[in-house]
């Protein structure tokens, strides 16, 4: 069964770094895949896992950019993957499966935030497609390799942005309502959290556990679609294009931003647990729907009924069906 959405008092804090979170953990002989593992917190996640001895595969849409970013990290394996292209996902998953290797860790880290309205070839809105549907297909098609591990974890990057919107089952792709890039981002991050709930329900008996993660507020390439004026409007930048002094305490470094991912992926305290939303290197508090602060997880992002409904929608849209016996 899923773990209660209640902090464990892990002993870590919001300033913990990825390297501190993985200290004394030995991942030699383990294999990990980190989507987006060549930029921002994904790069730091890759660095921390490799430092602990893991073999890390980084699938990248931009191979040249990935090679440049990862050149100082020995032993990382690169491959191509476009999360908005189902055929690309199937090819990557098929190649990994054919290698015969068990998959011990899968970090669904790649994502986009607040772009103009674009759609994939199937007509799905790009944030829903990239942040959720692509990762859903990837996980399902890598399921045999995750089961083969005997003790696998899937870490799915959500965000405090889930508070912007529940998942809209009536119009997830903004076919009938005006496009709102923040609502689209919010529902994609809600979908990430719900995916962890539903995946963990299916995986727990096979010792494949899933976690959703809010990494914190970090200045990374995720902001690339936002203008300076928009960044000022959401208090990311002041008039001098700097983080406002009054907001500095709410920001994390990239090293701190990767810590919760690393904790969920590797810490033994979480053995036998899963299906929870985590932040600040601990399980997050469940908060009411009208809670007006960033912290905690809203009820619509951990609702098991919504998670099951989203699973069915995701299977229908990706045309990829989960087979427990695989």
Over the stretch 101-115, which tens digit does the pLDDT of each residue have?
999 999 999 999 989
Would 310 be classed as within a structural domain?
Answer: yes
Query: Cα dist. 78→64, 69, 97 in Å?
Result: 10, 11, 15
Q: What is the pLDDT of residue 227?
A: 52
Which H or E element spans position 279?
Answer: strand 276-279
Q: Quick one: DSSP state of residue 79?
A: E
**155 is a domain residue:** yes
Six token digits for residue 16: 């913990």
Q: Which residues neighbour 94 within 8 Å (Cβ) at sequence distance 6 or greater? A: 141
- pLDDT confidence of residue 244: 56
Q: What is the pLDDT of residue 249?
A: 57
Q: Please spell the DSSP secondary structure of 304-318, one letter per residue.
A: HHHHHHHHHHHHHHH
Do 65 and 191 sit in the same domain of this protein? yes
Report the pLDDT value the prediction gives residue 267, as an integer from 0 to 100: 98
pLDDT value of position 177: 97
- 7: in domain: no
> Does 2 fall in a domain?
no
Mind telling me the catalytic residues?
185
Q: The tokens of 207 are what?
A: 């010792």
Q: How many other C-beta atoms can be found within 10 angstroms of the C-beta atom of residue 228?
A: 11
Q: How far is CA 145 from CA 104, 113, 148, in A?
A: 8, 30, 5
- 81 and 139, same domain (yes or no): yes
User: Does residue 11 belong to any structural domain of this protein?
Assistant: no
Q: Are residues 260 and 243 in the same domain?
A: no
Which residues are CB-contacts of 326 (< 8 A; sequence separation ≥ 6)?
143, 144, 147
In total, how many domains does the chain have? 2
Considering the domain architecture, whether residues 209 and 231 belong to the same structural domain is answered as no
CATH number (domain holding residue 189) = 3.40.50.720
The confidence score (pLDDT) of residue 219 equals 66
Boundaries of domain holding 157: 18-216+253-317
> Tens-digit pLDDT profile for the chain (326 aa)?
568 999 999 999 999 999 999 999 999 999 999 999 999 999 999 999 999 999 999 999 999 999 999 999 998 999 999 999 999 999 999 999 999 999 999 999 999 998 999 999 999 999 999 999 999 999 999 999 999 999 999 999 999 999 999 999 999 999 999 999 999 999 999 999 999 999 999 999 999 999 999 999 886 555 554 555 555 555 455 455 555 545 555 789 999 999 999 999 999 999 999 999 999 999 999 999 999 888 999 999 999 999 999 999 999 999 999 987 64
Each residue of 159-186: pLDDT tens digit? 999 999 999 999 999 999 999 999 999 9
Q: Of 236, 251, 266, which residue sits at a domain end?
A: 251
Please state, in angstroms and rounded to a whole number, the distance separating the CA atoms of residues 35 and 96.
Answer: 14
**How confident is the model at residue 286, as a pLDDT?**
97
Q: Give the sheet arrangement for strand 55-60, strand by strand.
A: 77-80, 55-60, 31-34, 105-108, 152-157, 208-214, 276-279, 282-283
Amino acid 135: pLDDT? 98
Are 151 and 171 in the same domain? yes
């Amino acid at each position: 069964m899923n773990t209660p959405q209640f902090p464990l008092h892990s002993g870590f804090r919001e300033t913990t770094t990825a390297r501190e979170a993985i200290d004394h953990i030995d991942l030699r002989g383990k294999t990990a895949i980190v989507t987006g593992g060549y930029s921002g917190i994904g790069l730091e996640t890759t660095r921390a896992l490799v430092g602990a001895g893991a073999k890390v595969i980084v699938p990248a849409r931009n191979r040249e950019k990935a090679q440049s970013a990862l050149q100082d990290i020995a032993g990382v394996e690169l491959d191509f993957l476009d999360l908005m292209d189902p055929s690309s996902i199937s090819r990557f998953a098929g190649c990994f499966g054919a290698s015969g290797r068990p998959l011990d860790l899968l970090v669904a880290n790649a994502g986009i935030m607040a772009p103009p309205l674009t759609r994939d070839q199937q007509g799905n809105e790009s944030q829903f497609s990239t942040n959720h549907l692509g990762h859903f297909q990837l996980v399902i098609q890598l399921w045999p390799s995750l089961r083969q591990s005997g003790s696998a974890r899937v870490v799915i990057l959500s965000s405090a942005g889930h508070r912007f919107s529940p998942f809209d089952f009536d119009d997830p792709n903004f076919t009938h309502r005006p496009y709102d890039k923040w609502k689209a981002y919010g529902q994609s991050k809600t979908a990430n959290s719900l995916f962890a709930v539903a995946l963990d329900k299916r995986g727990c008996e096979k010792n494949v556990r899933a976690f959703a993660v809010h990494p914190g507020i970090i200045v990374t390439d995720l902001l690339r679609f936002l203008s300076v004026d928009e960044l000022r409007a959401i208090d990311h930048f002041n008039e001098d294009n700097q983080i406002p002094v009054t907001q500095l305490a709410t920001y994390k470094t990239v090293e701190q931003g990767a810590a919760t991912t690393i904790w969920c992926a590797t810490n033994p305290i979480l053995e036998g647990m899963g299906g929870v939303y985590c932040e600040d290197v601990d399980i997050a508090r469940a908060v009411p729907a009208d809670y007006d602060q960033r912290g905690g997880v809203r009820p619509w992002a951990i609702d098991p009924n919504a998670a099951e409904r989203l699973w069915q929608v995701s299977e229908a849209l990706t045309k990829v069906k989960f087979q427990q016996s695989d």
